[in-house]
């Protein structure tokens, strides 16, 4: 077996983001695996979360937020590279893991047992995992996904890598990345905070020129007419791209500002609380939207105006603190 870290799913200790009561138990597959991978490698993933402040409404959905790869290199010395697939995927994974490089790959949740009750043996859903260990002969895989670390084996191994019969030419290779750890000195706690604040200043300079919630409200009001004619499956897809996307992201933003406070930064407590309120409102609003679809109840749009005002005030305060000094 090729293995990078010796981890036991039964005794795995999650990062605090995934171990406490939160508005959103999971964010998105890419962010969640990086949180746990960085945590397991001995780093603090919260330091790399300034990007959560600069998301935007993209016209039909909110930014699918991800850790910027350059920030991972700056803070942790991790160089992320795309992997070209020219031989069986399992062989690539075995080779890269043997070199100490976690492999991030898109797999079908239909064959991921950790998704039991949502997708496993129920729905074909693309999701990214980070592979830490593999044994091709024993048909064994150890991987980060969602909130934790898991194993799969046997038929799940065979099917998740599509090893039955000849490869179907209509099934394209998944997108694959490797995480190369540079041989550089690990930043101290103080150096990590300073580097993170430098990244924060850059992200604040990239804030949307216009309040994104103003544009979202216009589109959301239009989408409501369509949503009333859809089923709950359509609601879940729509909600993931909108309410859940910005809600989960701003909860991480509040977590980041609280982390800065814990590390000596001042005047951020109130801002963090207000940004956290955006997350809380999004979660409540998601339930109200579901009731509107299932029961035909009207939806009050005033909370979006309140979120817009909160966003405007908080971002202005952050810019005054970090860009005007």
| 149 CA to centre of own chain | 15
Q: Are 77 and 186 in contact (CB under 8 A)?
A: yes
Over residues 64-80, the pLDDT tens digits come to 999 999 999 999 999 99
**Residue 71 belongs to some domain of the structure:** no
CA distance 141 to 158: 11
CA distance 108 to 129: 10
Stronger pLDDT, 28 or 172, i.e. the higher one: 28
Mean pLDDT for 261-290 is: 96
Using the 3D structure, point to which of 159, 181, 203 is the last residue of a domain: 181
Of the candidate ranges 15-19, 40-44, 77-81, 98-102, the one whose mean pLDDT is the lowest: 15-19
Identify the pLDDT of residue 206. Answer: 97
Number of structural domains found in the chain: 2
Identify the pLDDT of residue 292. Answer: 85
Do 101 and 164 sit in the same domain of this protein?
A: yes
The answer to whether residue 230 scores a pLDDT higher than 90 is no
186 three-class SS: coil
Tokens 């810019």 identify what position? 319
Over residues 151-202, the pLDDT tens digits come to 999 999 999 999 998 777 778 889 999 999 998 889 999 999 999 999 999 9
Long-range CB contact pairs, 113-117, < 8 A, 24+:
113/150, 113/152, 113/156, 114/145, 114/146, 114/148, 114/150, 115/145, 115/146
Q: What is the domain range of residue 216?
A: 189-322
Using the 3D structure, point to which of 127, 160, 181 is the last residue of a domain: 181
Do 10 and 158 sit in the same domain of this protein?
A: yes
Do 126 and 204 sit in the same domain of this protein?
A: no
């Amino acid at each position: 077996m090729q293995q990078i870290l010796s981890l036991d799913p039964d005794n795995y200790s999650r990062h605090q983001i995934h171990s406490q009561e939160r508005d959103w138990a999971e964010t998105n597959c890419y962010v969640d695996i990086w949180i746990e991978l960085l945590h397991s490698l001995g780093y603090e993933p919260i330091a790399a979360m300034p990007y959560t402040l600069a998301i935007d409404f993209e016209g039909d959905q909110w930014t699918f937020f991800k850790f910027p790869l350059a920030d991972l290199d700056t803070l942790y010395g991790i160089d992320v590279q795309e992997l070209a697939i020219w031989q069986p995927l399992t062989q690539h994974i075995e080779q890269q893991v043997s070199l100490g490089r976690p492999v991030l790959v898109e797999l079908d949740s239909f064959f991921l047992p950790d998704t039991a009750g949502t997708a496993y043996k129920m729905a074909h859903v693309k999701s990214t995992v980070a592979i830490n260990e593999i044994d091709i002969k024993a048909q064994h895989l150890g991987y980060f996904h969602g909130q934790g670390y898991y194993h799969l084996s046997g038929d799940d191994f065979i099917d998740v890598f599509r090893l039955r019969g000849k490869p179907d030419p209509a099934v394209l290779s998944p997108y694959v990345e490797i995480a190369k750890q540079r041989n550089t000195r690990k930043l101290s706690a103080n150096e990590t905070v300073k580097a993170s604040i430098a990244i924060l200043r850059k992200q604040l300079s990239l804030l949307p020129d216009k309040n994104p919630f103003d544009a979202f409200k216009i589109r959301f009001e239009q989408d409501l007419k369509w949503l009333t004619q859809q089923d709950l499956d359509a609601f879940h897809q729509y909600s993931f791209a909108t309410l859940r996307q910005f809600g989960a992201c701003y909860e991480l933003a509040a977590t980041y500002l609280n982390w800065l406070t814990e590390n000596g930064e001042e005047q951020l407590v109130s801002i963090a609380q207000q940004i956290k309120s955006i997350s809380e409102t999004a979660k409540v609003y998601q339930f109200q939207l579901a009731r509107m679809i299932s029961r035909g109840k009207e939806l009050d749009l005033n909370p979006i105006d309140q979120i817009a005002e909160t966003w405007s005030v908080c971002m202005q305060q952050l810019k005054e603190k970090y860009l005007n000094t």
